[in-house]
Amino acid sequence: MSEDGRAYWARNAWVRGAIRENVRITAAADGTISAVDTDTPCAAGDVVLGGVVYPGAVNAHSHAFHRLLRGRTHADGGSFWTWRELMYKEADALEPDRYEAIATAVYGEMVAAGWTSVAEFHYVHHRTDGSPYGHPHAFEQALARAATTAGIRLTLLDTCYLAGGFGQPLSPGQRRFGDGTVRAWLDRHRSLGASLSDEFDDRFVSVGAAVHSVRAVPVEALEILAGELDPRLPLHIHLSEQPAENDACREATGRTPTELLHDVGLLRPTLSAVHATHLTPNDVGLLGEAGGTVVMCPTTEADLGDGIGPARALRDAGVRIALGTDQHAVIDPFLEARGLEYGERLASGQRGRFSPQELLAAMGSGGSASVGRPVGLIEPGQPCDFIEVDPGSARTSGSELGQIVMTGTAADVMSVVIGAERVARRGVHETLGDIGAFFESARGRR
């Protein structure tokens, strides 16, 4: 927690949509920003930042344990569906203590890379046979402790996962994801908030909800969720990531996944549709009318061969665009932001589909609704979360300061401040130290 009046002074910072000079950011005792002054001299006692300051990046889609697959799925080609079988094997080996260690490393890597908030799409709830642990929120508590140790703001998206496909039961590899019925999931979800609020600071740990996908939650359960979930709650869903999902949904319901969500009443401003890769023009229009968010995960979508989603069309229709790291093949906000623009360039043959300003917004404030808190801007009342980036590295030297999003990487993040406290410097976490070594230790735990 910050001391009242602590101030950071930066020669250059991204404020109100542009680079401003001689910026003084003053923090209140609760870790929020109390004042932002531009064209102002450095005062005695200010923490001086020599790099360029940008808002902290908001990671709107994470599956922490997927980090275990990095660099281990490429030898034999395959598809999303074969990759998924490997993912199930890793899920099968998780226990709460081990998952806490793994997630701590993953969240620590995020922090060191410049992500200051994360939405964790969490569906590993029970023992491998589907029976509950003695503590019904053992995994959820583990993830909250991991985020607290790493210092990142966590929105824990407790996920409803009831079926293996349209009209199909959960497979053996999916049993620990499910609660049996939508009512049982609702009961467990409602108790989760109280369980976490007793132990964790709600400024850093909060609860949202997720529907895994339309193939994993039957239509009648979707209707119940639409009627009983608090419409103000952040709600996420994997949507149209694969053409096979669309085909199965049309065969089972006569509608696309987006049309189905519209008809049951789940398209709402607080909905984040993750991936949204294979949409019809009507789908794009419905998502735009709902005023929600689409979370693009460009490095994962490329890694899995998912395809290139219609990000520009969605943004033009009124959809907010956010970014996520999903399976963590890469944890780097700059690469996700560039991937958004590069995907558009490859699909359209045109440059500048998203301006640097729009990419910085997607990296930061675009994820605010997804995580259910005001983040991603440097302005009074916002959490004092920001990153300092080196403008003179081998990658960024010569770049216009407003275009470093197109040249920098996580390796250029000089320092990371969350809640007015510096939590990482030059890729090293202040508490966890070297993340590679920490992850090696966590990965080996059984």
Task: Tell me the catalytic residues.
Answer: 275, 326
Q: Is 101 helix (H, G, I), strand (E, B) or coil?
A: helix
Q: Are the CB atoms for 352 and 325 separated by under 8 Å? A: no
Q: Is 153 helix (H, G, I), strand (E, B) or coil?
A: strand
CA R_g for the chain: 21
Per-residue burial over 138-170, b if 16 or more Cβ lie within 10 Å, else e, is bbbbbbbbbbbbbbbbbbbbbbbbbbbbbeeeb
Q: Is 421 helix (H, G, I), strand (E, B) or coil?
A: strand
How far apart CA 302 and CA 339 sit, in angstroms, is: 9
Output the CA torsion 177→137→207→198 (10° steps): 180
320 Rama class: left (phi>0) / alpha (psi -120 to 50) / beta: beta
Query: Could you say which DSSP state residue 168 is in?
Result: B
Tokens of 202: 């709600």
CA–chain centroid gap for 159, Å, is 14
From residue 434, alpha-carbon distances to 108, 288, 421 in Å are 9, 42, 19
Q: Are the CB atoms for 208 and 233 separated by under 8 Å? A: yes
How far apart CA 320 and CA 59 sit, in angstroms, is: 14
How far apart CA 164 and CA 149 sit, in angstroms, is: 34
Could you identify the residue written with the tokens 């996908």?
213
Query: Could you say which DSSP state residue 31 is in?
Result: S
DSSP string over 332-398? -HHHHHHHHHHHHHHHHS-S-SS-HHHHHHHHTGGGHHHHTS--S--STTSB--EEEE-TTSTTTTT
SS3 assignment for 61-97: EECHHHHHHCCCCCCCCCCHHHHHHHHHHHHHCCCHH
